[in-house]
Amino acid sequence: MFVLNVDYSNLDYDNLALLIGVKSRYIPMIVESFLKETDSILETLEKSIQSKDYDKIRSNAHAIKGSAGNIKFNEIYEMAMEMEQAAAKQNSEFDYKLYLGAIKSAVGTISL
């Protein structure tokens, strides 16, 4: 499920807290942690895509998928899952750069 123009700029802290089972006051800390971790993973993922290292693409996409899934960023989760599955099959036809760009764009809309 490739998604363009994902926008997380208007996060509803109360609803997000309800979905993941925490108090809303913890959401900024959780989101900040997600952003820091994901920025680092995205850098590594980009290098892995450039070198066509499918095992590293798979593991980095898996890490993003897990983090995004934990905090219900479902579109990021879905795109990372598709990338992970393609890399597991060493699918050279899959547009990893397009998905990377879309994930980066979605992450870039997240604000505290």
Integer Cα distance of 83 and 101 in angstroms: 12
C-alpha 105: how far from chain center? 10
Query: Looking at residue 111, what is its pLDDT?
Result: 86
* Average pLDDT, 10 consecutive residues per value, the chain (112 residues): 81 95 96 97 98 99 98 96 98 97 96 82
What is the tens place of the pLDDT at every residue in 54-85? 999 999 999 999 999 999 999 999 999 999 99
Query: Looking at residue 1, what is its pLDDT?
Result: 62
The dihedral region occupied by 101, where left means phi > 0, alpha psi between -120 and 50, and beta the remainder, is alpha
Q: What is the dihedral angle through the alpha carbons of 6, 81, 31, 52, rounded to the nearest 10 degrees?
A: -90
| Domains assigned to the chain | 13-108 (1.20.120)
